[in-house]
Structure 1
Amino acid sequence: MSTTPWYRDGRLHFGAGIENTFVPQERPGERAIDEYALTEHYERWSDDLDLASSVDAEFLRWGIPWHVVSPERGRWDWSWTDRVLDGFAARGIRPIVDLLHYGTPTWIEGEFAHPDYASFVAEYAARAAERYRDLATDYTPVNEPMLHALFSGEYAYWPPYRQGPAGLVEISTAIARGFVETQRAVAEVLGERATFVHVDASMRYAGDIDAPEHRETAERYRHQAFLVEDLVTGAVGTDHPLLPLLRAHGTSDDTLAWFAENSVQPDVMGVNYYPRHSTELFESGIHHSGGFADPRPTRDDGVEGLAEMLRTYAARYGAPVMLAETCVTDDVATRLRWLDDSVAAVQGLRADGLDVVGYTWWPLFDMYEWTYRHSDEPRSAHLLTMGLHDLVETETGLARRRNPVADRFAEYASRGAR
């Protein structure tokens, strides 16, 4: 058996993902969102893994529902995840496990702002790594940590509902500390067998970014897109552009020294890129918060934006990169065009010498938009048609219907396996 890590074998690895956003907290006007419940993955997990096999996916980005395995402090229930990870092994699919995909269990008061959040998430990570040490060695400590920080820390959209730059700094540093402790906990269990796939959302800013009313904000946004990853990798030094912001909002020199001394690195840097959403536009004379409820307009920069983001992350963090999520939400013909164009772009980057090791279509089957949380409409009103398989409402629940995007993806995946 080869001891070469999968990301060092020279191939382009094709996989998919199952949407695993979990924000289980509720309050008036906001209902819990659990994508596994919405898509019926809890009941249909075995069939869903068969879907991954059917498209020749080598890996599947998939998350442990922390709020399910830890429903109360000190109580653990791994029964469902035991079955699913055994299912991965039975089918020969590599799980890349998301340990945190937006939400915490409801018993953590204040969520990321709880003073013991880092120790809570580290304990959970260590227990998961130990329990599945023979089934999973690839981990994403936090999926899209900067979106976590924005939604929970700047936009007051998700718990703990902090707002503005002060909230952003508080939640960014808290998530970053938990990120570090998570990776260290998994590494302590698995040693050199562990592979860490860091994953963040690519954020590009264009338009009237030099307009007087936008210049300062746009400059901050360009740098803060990398803030959590910079913190966890120990890259926030005396010359970091956001150091004044961090210090102005309570980040001490001792905190920054802790990150420098305890830095963790990605084995693979995952980049999530959605052509219709990853480039936000500033417009002269118009204010948009950039929050989910008040978004700036976007521009589709297609494969040009994709190539820029992959090159940027590779250069910034010095690790192999993978396209960790991509798709367009549209009809089948449009999805097929993006699949063809994005695969060609990735292959072109590889031919130019960029170390791109993975391609991920997200998701394996359709999902439901996060607006479900703030709505009283049925899930069907929030369906996003973006998967390799369609979700179809039937009398017995959600059927999965293979569409031509799955067939095309399988062609690419089977070629990549050779």
Structure 2
Amino acid sequence: MTWYQDGRLHFGVGVEDTFVPQTRPGERALDEYELTEHYDQWHADLGLASEAGAEFMRWGIPWYRINPAPGQWDWSWLDPVMARFAELGIRPMVDLLHYGTPQWLEGEFAHPDYPKRVAEYSVAVAERYADTVTDYTPVNEPMIHARFCGELAYWPPYLSGEEGLTRMVAALADGFARTQHGIAEVLGDRATFVHVDATSRFSGDVDGEHADKVRFLREQSYVVEDLVTGRVRDGHPMLEHLLAHGFSPDLLDRLAGAPVLPDVMGVNYYPRHSTTLVQDGVWHAGGFVDPAPQIDEGMLGLEDVLRTYADRYGVPVALTETCVTASVGERVAWLDDSVALVHRMREEGVPIVGYTWWPLFDMYEWTYRHADTPREASLLTMGLWDLVESEQGLLRRRNPVADAFARHAAADRAVAPS
């Protein structure tokens, strides 16, 4: 029996692990481990997760650092980190791709060898840590990858429009499937695959003049997961659109013929950012007004996305990221209320197996990449520990959100498996 089959709700944390190392005029490298000084403080940071009672940690590998050149590997930083997980008894839920590629891969996700290269890297990780790591997320939030890199020209390779988006969807889906197949060959039945999607909801005038566009965007938000799980076949609402914008029929057949399925479907939900407001007469989402206005639908939205993903993919679900960027009091309230909702849904039969507070300690806003201000100007107050600037570097200061998290984690850990 694997961890997600024991009948309990498992509590975990994450360390923000976005890596976009490429630079150009007006854009800095974005490496959250560097910004938060996690590269130096990883030993103590993992201890904080244990202190909070986390059973697992969603934690990403900086591909660009451990694979500095084609076929070359540097495990010197990663080996002791993995040993620390084992020492603490925390299950690493490894993010293999949480944005960003090595700098030597010209064109990033648009390079024709990207799918092969990401699978090669992933298999190398799985082989090296086969005795200690079994839980993998092949691609975190694939549609955010695709949109930022292929539609909005925000991150490398800076493609835009529907053709750019489709090109990124194809590359990511191909690499996703190759990665999971490769790891499964290494680990066999020991492997657990946690697929993780960013949720994308729409509220407001969803049945009015923009109804067709809203329906399209809703289906588009699932498209990478639908592709890798073999669901995009005749009759799928995204099939014709993908083919019309350059998706290869051969790749479509290959994905449909050899699907990779999640053991657990991860859902990332932020109440203040996951729901776009649709207004009569004005098109916002990817349209005429940028940025799109967002509406906080709180518990209503959270319940909706957990039920939707559980029903759509027919596997257990986990809340793999959630928090509010707000005061400590507001964070504690969201934690308490969202945990209570998850328990109620479990009692109603929704197979929710995990709850993840993201992040363990504060992080820095992605807009840091396009700013010229000191890092503290981009600080996001989200964590169980605050990040505090000092002459000795960034200090971690525990706040009451950690106490509340530890209380919930301890209560569920005390429940005997059914």
Q: Which TM bucket (shorter chain)? A: over 0.9
Contact 2:276–2:294 (CA<8 Å) still a contact in 1? Answer: yes
Secondary structure at the counterpart of residue 266 of structure 1: coil
Check if 1:42 corresponds to 2:39: yes
For the residues of structure 1 that align with 2:296 and 2:32, how far apart are their CA atoms? Answer: 27
Q: CA deviation at 1:168?
A: 1.2
**What amino acid sits opposite 2:98 in the alignment?**
H
Task: Show the 5 A alignment for 1:3-402.
Answer: 4-212=1-209, 214-288=210-284, 290=286, 294-402=290-398
Contact 2:50–2:90 (CA<8 Å) still a contact in 1?
A: yes
**One-letter amino acid of the structure 1 residue matched with residue 138 of structure 2:** P
Q: Distance in 1 between matches of 2:233 and 2:152?
A: 27
Amino acid at match of 1:113: A
State the alpha-carbon separation in 2 of the partners of residues 287 and 305 from structure 1: 21
1: CA distance, partners of 2:285 / 2:304: 25
Residue 289 of structure 1: CA displacement? Answer: 5.0
The whole-number CA distance in structure 2 between the counterparts of 1:354 and 1:79 is 42
Matched residue SS, 2:389 = strand
Equivalent residue, structure 2, for 1:413: 409
Q: Structure 2 CA distance, aligned partners of 1:26 and 1:96?
A: 29
In structure 1, the residue corresponding to 2:394 is in which secondary structure? Answer: strand
> Aligned equivalents of 1:327 and 1:313: distance in 2?
19
For 1:167 and 1:324, how far apart are their aligned partners in 2? 28
**Which SS does the other structure have where 2:174 is aligned?**
helix
Separation (CA, whole Å) in 1 of partners of 2:273 and 2:408: 25
How far residue 215 of structure 1 moved from its aligned partner, in angstroms, is: 3.4
Shift of residue 134 of structure 1?
1.2
CA contact (8 A) 2:324 2:334 kept: yes
TM-score, with normalisation over the residues of structure 2?
0.97
Determine if contact 2:16/2:363 at 8 Å carries over to the other structure.
Answer: yes
Partner AA of 1:91 in structure 2: L
1:110 and 1:337 map into 2 onto residues whose CA distance is 44
1:89-112 deviations in whole A, cap 9, x for unaligned?
A: 001000000000010011111111
Percent of aligned pairs with the same residue?
A: 63
The residue type paired with residue 326 of structure 1 is T
Q: Secondary structure at the match of 2:219?
A: helix
Letter in 2 for 1:267: D
Moved more, 214-223 or 343-352: 214-223
- Residue identity opposite 1:92 in structure 2: G
CA–CA distance in structure 1, aligned partners of residues 211 and 267 of structure 2: 26
Rounded to whole Å, the distance in 1 between the matches of 2:39 and 2:16 is 12
Query: 2 CA distance for matches of 1:285 and 1:375?
Result: 33
For residues 228-259 of structure 1, the C-alpha deviation after alignment (integer angstroms, 9 at most, x for no partner) is 00000000011111112101111233221111
- The 8 Å contact of residues 174 and 251 in structure 2, kept in 1 or not, is answered as no
TM-score (norm 1): 0.97
Q: Hey, what's the Cα distance between the residues in 1 that align with 2:141 and 2:411?
A: 29
Shift of 1:399: 0.2
1:372-412, Cα deviation, whole Å (9 max, x unpaired): 00001111000000000000000010000000000010000
Task: Tell me the CA shift for residue 211 of structure 1.
Answer: 4.1
How far apart are the structure 2 equivalents of 1:177 and 1:255? 8
Which SS does the other structure have where 2:353 is aligned? strand
Aligned partner letter, 1:378: P
Gaps of 5+ in 1: none
Looking at structure 1, the residues matched to 183 and 360 of structure 2 have their Cα atoms a distance apart, in angstroms, of 27
CA distance in 2, matches of 1:394, 1:86: 29
Asked if the contact 2:271/2:302 (under 8 Å) is kept, the reply is yes
Matched-pair contact (CA < 8 Å) for 2:385–2:402? yes
5+ residue gaps, structure 2, are: none
* CA distance in 2: counterparts of 1:375 and 1:287, whole angstroms: 28
Once residues 110 and 215 of structure 1 are traced to their aligned partners in structure 2, the CA distance between those partners, rounded to angstroms, is: 36
Q: State the one-letter code of the partner of 1:338.
A: W
- The alignment partner of 1:79 has SS state of coil
Q: Deviations over 1:319-371 (max 9, x none)?
A: 10000000000000000110011000100110000110000000000000000
Q: For 1:343 and 1:209, how far apart are their aligned partners in 2? A: 29
**AA matched with 1:95:** P
CA–CA distance in 2 between the matches of 1:74 and 1:376?
35
Paired residue type of 1:167: G
